[in-house]
Amino acid sequence: MSATPTGASPEAPVRPGAPVRPAAPPAASTGPRRPADLPEGPSAAPRGAAVRARAGRYGAALGAYAAVKTAGFAVFLGLLAYADDYSGKATGRGGGARPWDVLGSWDGVWYQRIALTGYHPQLIPLHGYPHATLYENSAVFFPLYPWLIRIVCACTGLGTYGAGMLVAVVASFVAAAGIFAVAARIGGVRAGVVAAAVWGLFPGSGVEWAVYSDSLFVALAAWSCHGVITRRWLTAGLLAFTAGLGRPTAAALIAAVSLTALVALVRRTDGFARPLAAVLIAPWGLLGYIGWVGWKVGDPAGYFHLQRGAWNRYFDFGSATAHSLLDVLVGRWHAWQVNPVPDLIAIALLIALPGLVVLLLRTRPPLVLIVYTGLTIVAALASNQIFDNISRYLLPAFPLFIGLGTALRRHSWATLAGLLALPALASGWYAGYALFELGVP
C-alpha cells in the first residue's frame, strides 16, 4: 500500500520514484480560534517560570536581609537587657520601662508626637545656651513618616509606637528589595543579595527597625533610582517627590533624578515628555514642605532658621567634621556632643569610605547613582552635626553596598554566609547599642 504524503490528494496516489511536491501551507482559519491556538497557552509556562525565578531572586535577597537583621536585632535587645542602663535614663533619651522602648526614643518621640497632635511651627527665642538660640520644634521633622504612622494607627488600632515600628520594618524590606533590584542590574543576582544583606549590617542600620524614617527614605530612594535606570521617568519623579516629603536630604535624590533626566532630554534618548515630567515633579515635595513651614512662621527661610537655631544643624563645608575627627584622633573628648565609642565607629567608617567609593566606581554605575551617592556623602560630611551621626547619615548612600556586593560576588554562598555571619551579630552592638545607648542616633 502506497503512502499518501502530507498535502497530496488522496485520490491521486504517488508513483514510486516520483518527486513529491512540498506540502501547501494550511489555509488560514477564519473561524473562532481554539483555546490551544491562543498565544497565552504556549507562553503561560515560560511566563510562570519567569515569575517564579524573579520571586526566588527577591526571596534570596529578602531572606538574607531578614537573617542578618534578626541576628543583629537580637544581640541589640540582649545587650539592652544585660546592661539595663535604659532603665536609668529619661524616656525619650535612650530610656524607657522596657528594653524595646529605646527603639521609640530620640527622634522617635518627635515622630510619635507629630502623629498624635500634628505640627505647630514657631520660632521662639531661647537664651542662655551656647549651641541653641531657638526652642526645639517638631516642624524640623518632615511629615511623610508621621502621616503613615497616623494612618496605620487608624487602620489597625495600634499605638504610635507599634505603628511606627510596623511602618519602619515593612519599609526596610521594601528598601532591601530596591537595593537588590538596582545592584542585580549592575553586578548580578549574587551582588544584589550581598548588597541587601550589607544594608542590614551597615553602621547606622540600627535605626532601620526603630521609630525612625530612614528605612522609608531609603526604600523611596532605591526604587526611584531603579526607575531612572529602567527609564521609568514618571515613576522616578513621583518617588523623588514623595521622598522630598520624608527628609531634607532628599535634595541629593532630587538632584540626581533631575540631572539624569536633563541628560536624557539633551540626548533625546527617551523622548521629551517623560524625562521632563520627572524634572518638573521631583522637587515639589521638598520645596512644598519647606515653603509651608516658612509660611506658618512668617519667614521664607523659617525652616532653616529652626534647623540651625534649635537643632544646631547647618552646612559648614565640613568644618565641624574635620574638627571632631581631629579631636577624637588625639583623644580630646570635650567638644560638643562627644560620644567616644560611636565616634570611634564613625572614624572606622570614614577610613573605609574611600575604598567603598572606589569599589562602586569600578562597577561603572549609572549617572544617577554617582550623583546621588556623591551628594549624600557631601551632605553627611559637610554639615555641622553630632559626629557619631555620620554612620546614620551615610546609611542612605546605598550604592556603596553595590560596589562591595560586586567585589564579593565571586565567592560561594557558603563563603559569603561565613563572611557576613560575625558582622551580622556584631551589628547589634556597633549599629544598635552603641548608637542608641552610647551616643545619639
CA distances from 187 to 137, 254, 255, 410 (A): 44, 25, 25, 10
Look up residue 318 and give its three cell numbers: 565640613
Cβ pair 396, 221 in contact under 8 A: yes
Q: Is residue 42 part of a domain?
A: no
Residue 130: predicted pLDDT:
83
Cβ pair 164, 141 in contact under 8 A: no
Going by C-alpha positions, the residue among 179, 180, 193, 210 that lies closest to residue 397 is 179
Give the position of cell 521609568. Answer: 232
Going by C-alpha positions, the residue among 324, 367, 40, 71 that lies closest to residue 229 is 367
Among the residues of 268-301, which ranges form H helices?
Answer: 273-281, 284-297
- Number of alpha helices (DSSP H) and beta strands (DSSP E) in the chain: 18, 2
pLDDT in tens, 255-294: 999 999 999 999 988 889 999 999 999 999 999 999 999 9
Taking 70 as the pLDDT cut, the residues of the chain under it are 1-50, 53, 334-336
Q: Is residue 22 part of a domain?
A: no
Q: Is residue 4 part of a domain?
A: no
Q: How many domains does the chain have?
A: 1
- What whole-number distance in Å separates Cα of residue 121 and Cα of residue 433? 32
DSSP 8-state code for residue 430: I
Neighbour count for residue 128 (Cβ, 10 Å): 5
Cβ pair 73, 66 in contact under 8 A: no
Q: Is residue 123 part of a domain?
A: yes
Query: How many CA within 13 A on the CB side of residue 62?
Result: 16
Note the pTM of the prediction, 2 decimals: 0.87
Query: By residue range, what is the domain housing residue 231?
Result: 90-436
- Reported as type and span, the H/E element at residue 94 is none
Neighbour count for residue 418 (Cβ, 10 Å): 11
Cβ pair 204, 392 in contact under 8 A: yes
Q: Is residue 64 part of a domain?
A: no
- What whole-number distance in Å separates Cα of residue 292 and Cα of residue 302? 9
Q: Is residue 41 part of a domain?
A: no
Cβ pair 200, 179 in contact under 8 A: no
pLDDT in tens, 68-92: 999 999 999 999 999 999 888 888 8
- Reported as type and span, the H/E element at residue 404 is helix 399-408
CA distances from 126 to 2, 130, 131 (A): 109, 10, 10
Residue 331: predicted pLDDT:
83
Q: Is residue 421 part of a domain?
A: yes
Distance of alpha carbon 296 from its chain centroid, rounded? 31
Output the 3-class SS for 146-205: HHHHHHHHHHHCCCHHHHHHHHHHHHHHHHHHHHHHHHHHHHCHHHHHHHHHHHCCCCCH
145-184 burial, b for 16+ CB within 10 Å, e for fewer? bbebbbebbeeeeeebbbbbbbbbeebbbbbbbbbbbbbb
Q: What sign results for the dihedral spanned by CA atoms 400, 372, 209, 177?
A: negative
